[in-house]
Amino acid sequence: MALELEQLPPTPSKPKSNRTHWLYIMVIVGVVAGVVVGLVAPAFGKEVAFLGTMFVNLIKMMIAPVIFCTIVIGIGSVRKAATVGKVGGLAFVYFLVMSTAALAVGLLVGNLLKPGTGLDLKPDAAKAAELAGKAHQAGGTIDFLQGIVPDTLVSALTSGQVLQALFVALLVGFAIQALGKDGEPILRAVSFFQKLVFRVLAMVLWTAPIGAFGAIAGVVSQTGWSAVRELFVFVLAFYATCFLFVFVVLGLLLRAVTGFSIFRLARYLAREYLLIVATSSSEPALPSLIAKMEHMGVSTSTVGIVVPTGYSFNLDGTAIYLTMASLFIADAAGSPMSFGEQLGLLVFMMIASKGAAGVTGAGLATLAGGLQAHRPDLLDGVAVIVGVDRFMSEARALTNFSGNAVGTLLIGTWTRTIDASRANRVLRGEIPFELDAAASASAEPAPNVTPAVK
């Protein structure tokens, strides 16, 4: 009898509770409280807006270390650089095609609905001039390309420029790869540093409810409801366009290539969506997207290349916004754009939008730059939509984030660097994601991933 008892399988231990469930409940409470304060006590709401800015800054200080560690580990662990080149090249082509498609969708919807027609809006010239100044300071395409190279190797991790951190991480990753066995100790050191970075990030995320409260209170107190009522049709059309782009265009593409459901993916990323809505920026969710894609079974090297690059080059929501807003201003001013002007604007925005990666409000300056280059007579109209730009920034950020998540899964499938079986189990909820577990295991490669190069 004793022998039979000894042969019985051990009782499975109770799964560890996911404490982040309470975190995001607190975020919802913070958002609701921010709306109430902004409406009831707008003066106080403006005073606490700095809390949202501080929270976003806390997250931004983690972006460069997260990107650096992820890419260095991803590239350094791959034996042949050809694999990285294949993933990177495929990602670049995909991002270019999808960004162009998003710009075209924005133009199509704007021409069909013409939400600005007949409004006879009178813009604030002073505000528009201020936006134009910001657009000129941003520089052109040459300045954008020159800005990719940092002043020093270390400054790329301290300047806050995502592309600079990406560039240096690629160099270091390939250098470690070229060192062979001599580079393994360096790779292990970066892995330990990555664990520290994700642990700090987990601590920072617990301040999200306070940041959400301050950000929402500030927006509601400054904007009010009048601007939303005046531009309701335009805002509604933009949100509908983003929704259809994500759940129809990206959803069908995801289903056709991978067989995954866009609705299950959205449910899997629901917490990140909530964080993006609270901060109006996709940057705070970048580290979590990296961790969740690896948790789904996408290889570390693919995630490390596709996700950070997508944050700079795959901005579907921003692309839709830029074209729809341009057409709205032209129609509202009674001076619609010709077909040729729309095509020229599309090409310009395809390049200019790459500088608006994940930064709240950057789309507004990019919009001003596009109009300044193609239709200077419409530049004053940019100030008209300032009142609701922040409300649309949530849709932009959510669409950008969704496009990068879908793009990672597509490229992982095309390059065979994803465990499809594990991904399906994760999307069905059989393998839940826990923030604390990700923080401690983020440096480990995803299990059961078919290696790209044997």
Count of Cβ atoms closer than 10 Å to residue 14 Cβ:
6
pLDDT of residue 149: 83
Closest CA to 326 of 308, 302, 354, 347: 347
- Spacing of C-alpha 317 from chain mean position: 10
In this model, does residue 99 exceed pLDDT 70? yes
**Residue with the larger pLDDT of the pair 350 and 166:** 166
Closest CA to 301 of 156, 187, 161: 187
Structural contact between residues 294 and 446, judged by C-beta atoms closer than 8 angstroms: yes
pLDDT of residue 409: 94
In this model, does residue 139 exceed pLDDT 60? no
What pTM was estimated for this model as a whole? 0.64
On average, the pLDDT of the chain sits at 75
Distances (CA, A) of 114 to 95, 238, 268, 329: 28, 12, 35, 10
Dig out the tokens for 297 from the structure: 């079974």
**Residue with the larger pLDDT of the pair 405 and 42:** 405
For residue 332, give every residue at least 6 positions away whose Cβ sits within 8 Å of its Cβ, in sequence order, or none.
116, 117, 119, 120, 121, 381, 384
In this model, does residue 67 exceed pLDDT 90? no
Which pLDDT band, with edges at 50, 70 and 90, does 215 fall under? confident
What is the per-residue pLDDT across 260-279, written as a single tens digit (0 to 9) for each?
A: 999 999 999 988 888 888 77
**Residue with the larger pLDDT of the pair 375 and 125:** 375
Question: 47-441 has which CATH code?
Answer: 1.10.3860.10
Distances (CA, A) of 355 to 306, 310, 341, 453: 17, 12, 22, 33
Which pLDDT band, with edges at 50, 70 and 90, does 162 fall under? low
In this model, does residue 40 exceed pLDDT 90? no
Lowest mean pLDDT segment, chosen from 60-64, 427-431, 441-445: 441-445
pLDDT of residue 269: 92
For residue 346, give every residue at least 6 positions away whose Cβ sits within 8 Å of its Cβ, in sequence order, or none.
100, 103, 104, 107, 323
| pLDDT above 70 as % of the chain | 69
Distances (CA, A) of 35 to 12, 224, 394: 45, 10, 15
Domain boundaries, the chain: 47-441
> What is the arithmetic mean of pLDDT over 178-202?
85
Say which residue the tokens 């290889």 belong to: 299
Q: How far apart are CA 277 and CA 344, in angstroms?
A: 32
Q: Which of 64-73, 241-250, 304-313 has the highest mean pLDDT?
A: 241-250
pLDDT of residue 292: 92
pLDDT of residue 363: 61
pLDDT of residue 253: 95
| DSSP-derived 3-state class of residue 298 | strand
> What is the arithmetic mean of pLDDT over 122-148?
56
pLDDT of residue 444: 44
**Residue with the larger pLDDT of the pair 406 and 66:** 406
